[in-house]
Every structure is written in C-alpha cells, then in structure tokens.
Amino acid sequence: MQVSVSGAPNGSPVFLLHGTPGSRQGPKPRSSVLYRLGIKLICYDRPGYGGSNRHPGRRVADAAADVAAIADDLHLDRFSVVGRSGGGPHALACPALLPERVHRTAVLVGIAPSNAEGLDWFDGMAQDNVHEYETADNDLAVLAERLRLRAERVLHDPESLLEMLRSQMAEADRRFVDRIAIRRLLAATYTEALRGGPYGWFDDVLAFRGDWGFGLDTISGPVKLWHGEDDTFSPAGHTRWLARQIPHAEVQVRTDTAHFGAVEVLPEILAWLTAQPDYLHR
C-alpha cells in the first residue's frame, strides 16, 4: 500500500481518502497549514491506484482493514477519517467497522449506496457518470474497455480527463478548475492514479454499485456530511439521504458551490475533525 504522510509529525492523525479516480497525491492543504492546525495527514492509494497493488473484488468495507493496517504501521491507536467524493463511502466504513479507533468522520460530496430506498440515485447526475454506473450494472467487459481507453488517454494527455469532466461541470466547478495551479495538480493526480491502468477506477465503480458490506445505522460516532448544492458528479440528494440514515449525523449543503468545493472546505473540515483531540498514541 502506497502511503504519504504530511503535516505535524506529532499532530492529531487524520486519514484523507481520495476520490474516483484519484491518488494519495490529490488536493490537500499545504504542510504549513497542516502544521498550524496541528494535523498529521495520512493519504494512501486505494488498491489498484498509483503504487498500491490491486485487490480484485474488493468491497467498500475493505477500506476499514486497509486504514487499520496503515494506522498500525504508524503506531496510531485512534484517528479521524475524511473521504472526498468516491472516498466518502470508504470513509464511512471506518466508523462502522472500527468504532473504537475512529474519533470523528467527515464525508465531502459523497454518494449513497446503489440500493438506497427512496432515493432517485441518478437524479441530477452528469450523463457520463450515469452511463458509467449503468454499464457497470449491465456489461463489465464494456466498462473495463472504456476505462482502459480513458486511462491510456490520461497517460498520453494528462489534462484529457479534466477536459472531459469540465464539459459536465457546474459553473462553480469550472471556475475552480480553470486555475492553472489546480489544473496541474488534478492532472498529476489522475496520471499517478492511472499509471498502472484503470483497475482502481474499475474496482471502485463495482464496489459502489455492490453491497458495501456494512450498515449505515451501525455508525455511532460523530459524523459530518458536506455537499455543494450544484454538484453534478455526486448530487447533493445523496448526502441528504445519508443524513437520514446515519444516527446523529451533522449535514451541511452549501449553496453557490459544487463538487470541487470539497477541496476548498477541507481545512475547515480538518479543524472540526480534530476539535476534541482525545487521540491515544502508542
């Protein structure tokens, strides 16, 4: 498992789980900001992405074991977890399956399970995402070939995926990704994520559409759910649905922002995750 640690060496530990597709190199606060917040930020490539070996057939629930193993290697008893976009479901696996170890959990622009009762799962979602998930439900060979071609294109033209996504973004997201530094960062993140092929991406999509392997009603610790109202990739209705299922979850849907608003709000969320630092270090 490829892991990156930044920020304050003795700070409050927080795992940041990247999106789909994504890698440990995804957007995060500068080390100086993390030092100021007193945070030790831990990012890792999910299986099949970047430098992490593939785990075929993995479920969302398997992320909890990955996080626990990394925490053990770093000698951390307790930690907080935040997942962005495709990292959101994986973040929720941690308090559900590691309740004694997780201090607080946050999910930014996350998605709901595919069998979410009373939720129109595709309502408000960009057509390309709809097609991707529907293909996963109906023809895995077609999905695998489609993602293979996209991964190859990214390796030859690092900004190609961002350009494709841009055509389906809300205006708030287009303003964000049009910043030169952000474009370069996202292009580098996608290139790292897909350098070994589309396998992490493929396995993420299958995991999202399958049984997650845990119940949301088993989550008892503090949970914050955040979403941008204009999100076209993970519609805000998913977060509102999650808020109704997770006991005592705190929810914030912010107007005038969208999917990539999750990058800008991250420092605020990290401060919340470590507001009551009762972590125990070995």
Give the pairing of strands 250-254 and 12-17. unpaired
Share of the chain above pLDDT 90, in %: 92
Q: At residue 280, does pLDDT exceed 50?
A: no
The string of pLDDT tens digits covering residues 99-136 is 999 999 999 999 999 999 999 999 999 999 999 999 99
Rounded average pLDDT over 206-223: 95
pTM of the model: 0.94
User: Residue 242: how many CA atoms within 13 Å on its side-chain side?
Assistant: 30
Q: Supply the pLDDT for residue 275.
A: 86
Which of residues 226 and 162 earns the better pLDDT score? 226
The radius of gyration of the chain's CA atoms, rounded to the nearest angstrom, is 17
- How high does pLDDT run on average in the chain? 94
Full set of structural domains in the chain with CATH:
3-273 (3.40.50.1820)
User: Do 37 and 64 contact (CB within 8 A), yes or no?
Assistant: no
